[in-house]
Chains A and B, each alone.
Chain A
Amino acid sequence: METETTELEATSAEARVFDLAETDVRELNSELHAPSAQSYVVQNPRGAHAVAAGVHDDVEIRIEGDVGYFCAGMNQRAHITIEGSAGPGVAENMMSGSVRVKDDASQSAGATAHGGLLVIEGNASTRCGISLKGADIVVHGNIGAMSAFMAQAGRIVVCGNAADGLGDSIYEARIYVRGTVGDLGADCIEKEMGDEHRAELAELLRESGKAAEADDDDYLGGFRRYGSGRTLYHFTSDQSGSY
C-alpha cells in the first residue's frame, strides 16, 4: 500500500484546463499520466468513461460535471473531485490519494480499492465497496444492496441507510452504518462498538468533510458496526444453507 500524500495547495488559477467538448479523454489522460502541471480542471465531461483513470502523480483534478464508468480508476496519489455524479466503478482499485463525488455514485463504487479515501457526498448504488482491499469509503447518504460483498479490508462509513445483503461473505473489512440496515449478508454480523472504533469513525468522518459530526457524541452514537462472523473461513458441509 502506498503512502498517503497531503493535498496540494495549487489554486484553480494555476490549473490547466481541459474542455472535453473540445478534446477527448485520451488526450486528457495522456497529459495526466505525465503531468506538466500540479492542478487540472476538466470541463464538460458529459458522462465520458475512464476520465482521469490511471493517474499516478501528486496532482489535483477537479471535474466539473457528471462522469461515466471508471472515473479515477486505479488512482494513485492524485486528489480528484467530481462536481457531479459518477457512473459505475468510480475509483475502482484505487491504491492511494483521494476521490470525492459531490453528488451520487452508481454501482461498484470503490470496488477492490486497496488504499486512499473515496467520499461520496450523495448516495451510492449497489455493490459499493465490493471486494474492498484496504481503502476507506465514506458515503454521506445511503448505499445500495450487496454493498461490501466479499470486502477483505478497509473501512466503509454510511451516514444514511444500507440496503439488503450488506457485507455478504465479508472478510476483515469494517462497516459503520448510522441509519437502518436491511437484511445482513451471509456471515455479516453486528459487532461491539469500542472506543477504538468510535475514534476511527470520527477520524473518517472528519476526513470526509463532516468535522462537526465527528465531534458530536450523539451523532457518533447513532452508528452501529458490522463485520465478519468468520464462520465461512473454512469449508464444511454444514455451510450449504449459508449462501
Chain B
Amino acid sequence: MRTPEDRGLRESATYDRFHIAAIRHAAETGVYDIRGWGAKRKVPHFDDLLFLGSSMSRYPLEGYRERCDTDVPLGGHHGATPVHLSTPITIAGMSFGALSGQAKEALGRGASEVGTSTTTGDGGMTEEERGHSDKLVYQLLPSRYGVNPDHLRSADAIEVVLGQGAKPGGGGMLLGQKISERVAGMRTLPAGIDQRSACRHPDWTGPDDLTIKIHELREITDWKTPIYVKIGASRPYYDTKLAVAAGADVIVLDGMQGGTAATQEVFIEHVGIPILAALPQAVQALQELGLHRKVQLMASGGIRNGADVAKALALGADAVSIGTAALIALGDNDPKYAEEYERLGSAAGYYDDFQDGRDPTGISTQDPKLAARLDPVAAGKRLANYLRVLTLEAQTLARACGKAHLLHLEPEDMVALTIEASAMSRIPLAGTSWVPGAKHHQYD
C-alpha cells in the first residue's frame, strides 16, 4: 500500500499527526490529556556527550583486573548518619497508589540486592517497601499524605520535595480509578475521587522557612537522619544555593525527562529544563559554596544506561536516581502484553497511561487482579540485574578514562557533539576548545 508520502502528499511539520490527534481529542472530549512517563520530546541529553577515553596523556585501568570502586556515602554534611550506597544508582520516589504494592516491593528487593536505596512517594510508607528496602528514603511532600513521625524516624533519609522534573510548580494527581480503599485510607481521602495534591507545602513558604522546617525535622529525628531536598530542574543554580543555605545534606535535581504517574501533557512537555542543562548549574552553585562533593548532588531525569550514569557523575553529580527505567526493568511496556496495550488504545513501548489504573503489567495499577501479575521476587531480580549492568557499564567507561572510582570522572573526560549540548553542559564541542557562552576557552 502506498503511503501518503509515496503519493506526493506533504505532512505539516507544525501540524503533524500527534498535534492533529491532540486537537481532535480536545475538541471531542473537552478535557486535557493527563498521562504518565516524562517528556517525550527530543531534548539535548547525555547522548550528545562522548567520553574521550585514554590516550598518550591519559593512562587507562585494566578492564577486568583493576578496581573501579562505586560506593558513595550520602548525607553526612551536618553530622547525620550517612546513607552508604554500594552503587551510586538509586531508585527515585514513586508512590504506593501510583504503583501497586507488588511493584513497590519489587523496587525494594531489587535495590536492596545491589546495596542501593529506594524512595517512598506521595502517599506514605508501606510495609512492602520498608520491609524489603534496606535503605529507604522517606519523602515529605506538600500533600503530606500518610506522614507519620514513626515512619520519619524509621527512614534512612528524609527527602523534602519541592518539585519534580516532570512538573516543576505542579502538585500531585491521582485519578479516582486508582484510589482504592487502601490508598484512600493511607491518604485520608474518600475512595474513588480524583485526588489533587497541593503544589506548595502547607506550613512553610520560601527558603527562610525551609531552614526552620529542616531544623524541625532534624529535631524530630534527633539529628540522626540525612535531609535531602528535591527540586525540579528550572532554576537550579539559585535553587541549589538556597537549599544548601536551608541546611540540605543532599540536593536531588530532577530534569524535565523525569517521570510522573499522572500530569497534564502540556505540563510535562513545556515546563522545566533538561538534566543536561540543569546539572552544571547546580554543580557551579556547590563549587562556589565550597561544598561540591560535601553536600551531595543526585541527578535524575532520563538515566537509561551506564553511559548516562557515568556522564552525570563526570558532570559533577555524586549519584543518580532512576524511575522510568526502573519500571521498564520490572516489566513496564513488556511486548508480551502487546495485544492488551492495543485494546487500551496504546502500544508496547508507547504506553504512558499510568494514571489510568489498567496497566497490563500490574505495575501502575491498584487493580488486585492486574497487580497479581507482577511477581515481586522475579521483578526485583530483573531490577537488580539492570542495576548491575548500569554499574558495570559506568565502571567500563570510568576505567577507560583511567579512573579508580566512578566519582573520579570529571568534565575534562568528555566532549560535546552539538553546539546546544556544549552550551548547556559547558563541555567543549568535539574537536574544538569552544564552549558557547563561556568566557574562557578550556585550553586558553
Binding site for B on A (CB under 8 A): 25-26, 29-30, 33, 49-50, 53-54, 56, 68-70, 73-74, 76, 88-89, 92-93, 95, 108, 111-112, 114, 127, 130-131, 133-134, 149-150, 152-153, 169, 171-172, 232-237
A-B contact pairs, 19 of them (CB 8 A): A33-B222, A49-B212, A50-B215, A50-B216, A53-B219, A54-B222, A74-B152, A88-B204, A89-B203, A89-B204, A89-B216, A92-B202, A112-B202, A114-B188, A130-B203, A152-B187, A171-B193, A233-B190, A237-B30
**Cβ-based interface call for B194 (8 A):** yes
Roughly how many angstroms separate A27 CA and B124 CA in the complex, as a whole number?
30
Q: A69-B216, A89-B216 are in contact. List 4 more A-B contacts (CB 8 A).
A: A50-B219, A70-B216, A88-B203, A171-B193
Please name the 5 residue pairs, one residue from A and one from B, whose CB atoms are nearest each other, closest first. A54-B220, A89-B203, A74-B149, A237-B30, A112-B144
Roughly how many angstroms separate A127 CA and B219 CA in the complex, as a whole number?
24
Contacts of B190 in A (CB 8 A): 171-172, 233
The answer on a CB contact under 8 Å between B188 and A93 is: no
The answer on a CB contact under 8 Å between A93 and B147 is: yes
Roughly how many angstroms separate A89 CA and B280 CA in the complex, as a whole number?
36
Q: What residue in chain B is nearest A88 (Cβ atoms)?
A: B203
Roughly how many angstroms separate A95 CA and B153 CA in the complex, as a whole number?
14
Q: What residue in chain A is nearest B176 (Cβ atoms)?
A: A234
Residues 102-161 (chain B) with a chain A CB within 8 angstroms: 143-144, 147-150, 152-153
Roughly how many angstroms separate A33 CA and B152 CA in the complex, as a whole number?
14
Q: Shortest beta-carbon distance, A134 to chain B, in Å?
A: 6
The answer on a CB contact under 8 Å between A234 and B193 is: yes
Q: Shortest beta-carbon distance, B120 to chain A, in Å?
A: 15
The answer on a CB contact under 8 Å between A233 and B193 is: yes
The answer on a CB contact under 8 Å between B193 and A29 is: no
Q: Shortest beta-carbon distance, A87 to chain B, in Å?
A: 9
* Residue from A30, A76, A236 in contact with B149 in the complex, judged by beta carbons closer than 8 Å: A76
**Cβ-based interface call for B31 (8 A):** yes
The answer on a CB contact under 8 Å between A235 and B194 is: yes
**Cβ-based interface call for B77 (8 A):** no
The answer on a CB contact under 8 Å between A130 and B212 is: no
Q: Shortest beta-carbon distance, A122 to chain B, in Å?
A: 19
Please classify how large the interface on chain B is, using the bins under 10, 10 to 19, 20 to 34, 35 or more.
20 to 34
**Cβ-based interface call for B373 (8 A):** no
Interchain Cβ contacts within 8 Å, total number = 108
Roughly how many angstroms separate A25 CA and B222 CA in the complex, as a whole number?
11
Roughly how many angstroms separate A131 CA and B215 CA in the complex, as a whole number?
22
**Cβ-based interface call for B196 (8 A):** yes
The answer on a CB contact under 8 Å between A70 and B213 is: yes
Contacts of B212 in A (CB 8 A): 49-50, 68-70
Contacts of A149 in B (CB 8 A): 202
**Cβ-based interface call for B221 (8 A):** yes
Contacts of B202 in A (CB 8 A): 92, 108, 111-112, 127, 130-131, 149
Roughly how many angstroms separate A155 CA and B221 CA in the complex, as a whole number?
29
Q: A88-B204, A108-B203, A112-B202 are in contact. Are A73 and B216 (CB under 8 A)?
A: yes
Quick one: CB contact mask for B187-223 with A, threshold 8 Å, 1 for yes?
Answer: 1111001101010001110000100110110011111
Contacts of B213 in A (CB 8 A): 69-70
Among B31, B187, B188, B198, chain A packs the most CB atoms within 10 A around the CB of B188
Roughly how many angstroms separate A236 CA and B34 CA in the complex, as a whole number?
12
Roughly how many angstroms separate A68 CA and B213 CA in the complex, as a whole number?
11
The answer on a CB contact under 8 Å between A54 and B144 is: no
Roughly how many angstroms separate A53 CA and B153 CA in the complex, as a whole number?
13
Q: Name the prevailing secondary structure of the A interface residues.
A: loop
The answer on a CB contact under 8 Å between A49 and B215 is: yes
Roughly how many angstroms separate A111 CA and B144 CA in the complex, as a whole number?
10
Contacts of B144 in A (CB 8 A): 93, 111-112, 131, 133
The answer on a CB contact under 8 Å between A153 and B188 is: yes
Roughly how many angstroms separate A29 CA and B222 CA in the complex, as a whole number?
8
Residues 299-331 (chain B) with a chain A CB within 8 angstroms: none
Contacts of B189 in A (CB 8 A): 152, 171
The answer on a CB contact under 8 Å between B203 and A152 is: no
Q: Shortest beta-carbon distance, B198 to chain A, in Å?
A: 6
The answer on a CB contact under 8 Å between B31 and A235 is: yes
* Residue from A95, A152, A169, A236 in contact with B31 in the complex, judged by beta carbons closer than 8 Å: A236
Residues 235-278 (chain B) with a chain A CB within 8 angstroms: none
Roughly how many angstroms separate A171 CA and B149 CA in the complex, as a whole number?
23
Roughly how many angstroms separate A149 CA and B196 CA in the complex, as a whole number?
12
Roughly how many angstroms separate A198 CA and B327 CA in the complex, as a whole number?
51
Q: Shortest beta-carbon distance, A210 to chain B, in Å?
A: 27
Roughly how many angstroms separate A33 CA and B219 CA in the complex, as a whole number?
10
Q: Shortest beta-carbon distance, A95 to chain B, in Å?
A: 7
Among B144, B148, B150, chain A packs the most CB atoms within 10 A around the CB of B144
Q: Shortest beta-carbon distance, A23 to chain B, in Å?
A: 14
Roughly how many angstroms separate A169 CA and B189 CA in the complex, as a whole number?
13
Contacts of B176 in A (CB 8 A): 233-234
Roughly how many angstroms separate A93 CA and B215 CA in the complex, as a whole number?
16
The answer on a CB contact under 8 Å between A234 and B220 is: no
Roughly how many angstroms separate A68 CA and B203 CA in the complex, as a whole number?
13
Q: A25-B219, A49-B216 are in contact. Are A234 and B203 (CB under 8 A)?
A: no
Q: A74-B149, A112-B147, A150-B198 are in contact. Are A92 and B221 (CB under 8 A)?
A: no
Q: What residue in chain B is nearest A90 (Cβ atoms)?
A: B203
Contacts of A150 in B (CB 8 A): 196, 198
* Residue from B34, B153, B203 in contact with A92 in the complex, judged by beta carbons closer than 8 Å: B203
Contacts of B193 in A (CB 8 A): 171, 233-234
Contacts of B34 in A (CB 8 A): 235
* Residue from B147, B209, B221 in contact with A54 in the complex, judged by beta carbons closer than 8 Å: B221
The answer on a CB contact under 8 Å between B220 and A73 is: yes
The answer on a CB contact under 8 Å between A54 and B148 is: no
Roughly how many angstroms separate A30 CA and B220 CA in the complex, as a whole number?
9
Contacts of A25 in B (CB 8 A): 219
The answer on a CB contact under 8 Å between B143 and A26 is: no
Q: What residue in chain A is nearest B142 (Cβ atoms)?
A: A131
Q: Shortest beta-carbon distance, A56 to chain B, in Å?
A: 7
Q: Shortest beta-carbon distance, A237 to chain B, in Å?
A: 4
The answer on a CB contact under 8 Å between A26 and B223 is: yes
Q: Shortest beta-carbon distance, A93 to chain B, in Å?
A: 5
